[in-house]
Amino acid sequence: MIGLPRAGDVRVLLLDADGNLFPSEEPAFVASAEVTNRFLASLGIDRAYTAEELRLTTTGKNFRTTAADLAAAHGVELDGPALTAAMLEDWVAEERKIVTEYLGRVLRPDPAVLGPLRRLAARYRLAAVSSSALARLDECFRATGLDELLPANVRFSAEDSLPRPTSKPDPAVYRYALEQLGVPAGEAVAVEDSLPGAQSAVAAGIPTVGNLVFVPPAEREIRRDALVEAGVALVIASWEELTAALPG
């Protein structure tokens, strides 16, 4: 575990997006499940996943990683004759389009997020660090009223911002964000809701807060334990708790 910085040492908050700034996980998996099942059927795999199954087993991963992992679990390896890299990229683009459009329709601004974030923005720089594609982030931030607080120039995507797309728990996107912002890991705090996200931030050497605000109540105890095990310094259940917990 990396403890939170001392008062006055925090310069930037690095915020995961999905399931952290807005409740996008459940609706995203509703849209993604339809694409995922068409993808598996195209490979001759006779297995359909519900949105809830995908949410519980793949939260924190991008679709590229999820699709490759599911195909491999059913005996279809990436770069084999049935699934080339080009074919996978076509499915990634399809899933991104479907999910982005759906989230843009169903997400709404949340005063319990916007109010505390405005107060935090008066004390720290804010940036978004996500496994999701930038196009998806753009639509979600527009729909939830977060555009002004987290404009496009401080959004970092493991899918689009790096030379090679990756996904959390790989710490590459956090390291990239620190480099672009010119901030050492010890002067940042990450806020993550998922286990892969927390593992990514902690592996990058960033003090991390676990956030349960959009985690279903029945799953909170298990998620809290997993986040603590991953090395978060603090677990919160609301954005108001973060404004009180951070030095400044």
Q: How far is CA 238 from the centre of its chain?
A: 17
**pLDDT at 7 exceeding the cut of 80:** no
Mean pLDDT of 12-22: 97
Q: Which long-range contacts (CB under 8 A, 24 or more apart) does 50-55 make?
A: 51/26, 54/29, 55/25, 55/26, 55/29
- Peptide bond connecting 169 to the previous residue in cis, omega within 30 degrees of 0: yes
Helix pair 85-106, 134-144: axis angle to 10 deg: 0
Q: What is the DSSP string of 70-97?
A: HHHHTT--TTBTTB-HHHHHHHHHHHHH
- The predicted structure's pLDDT at residue 15: 98
- The predicted structure's pLDDT at residue 248: 62
Mean pLDDT of 225-243: 97
pLDDT digits (tens, 9 = 90+) for 148-158: 999 999 999 99
Question: Could you tell me the two tokens for 12?
Answer: 């930037």
- CATH class of the 12-23+109-245 domain in this structure: alpha beta
Mean pLDDT of 222-237: 97
pLDDT digits (tens, 9 = 90+) for 115-141: 999 999 999 999 999 999 999 999 999
Q: What is the torsion angle, in degrees rounded to the nearest 10, for the CA atoms of residue 146, residue 147, residue 148 and residue 150?
A: 80
Distances (CA, A) of 11 to 45, 148, 190, 191, 201: 49, 19, 11, 14, 16
Q: Which secondary-structure segment (H or E) carries 137?
A: helix 134-144
pLDDT digits (tens, 9 = 90+) for 160-178: 999 999 999 999 999 999 9
Beta bridge mates, 15: 128, 191
- The predicted structure's pLDDT at residue 57: 87
Whether this prediction's pTM lies above 0.85 is answered by yes
- The predicted structure's pLDDT at residue 165: 92
Closest by alpha carbon to 112, among 7, 243, 225? 243
| Residue 134: partners with Cβ closer than 8 Å, 6 or more residues away | 152, 155, 157, 159, 160, 161
Mean pLDDT of 53-65: 87
Mean pLDDT of 69-75: 95
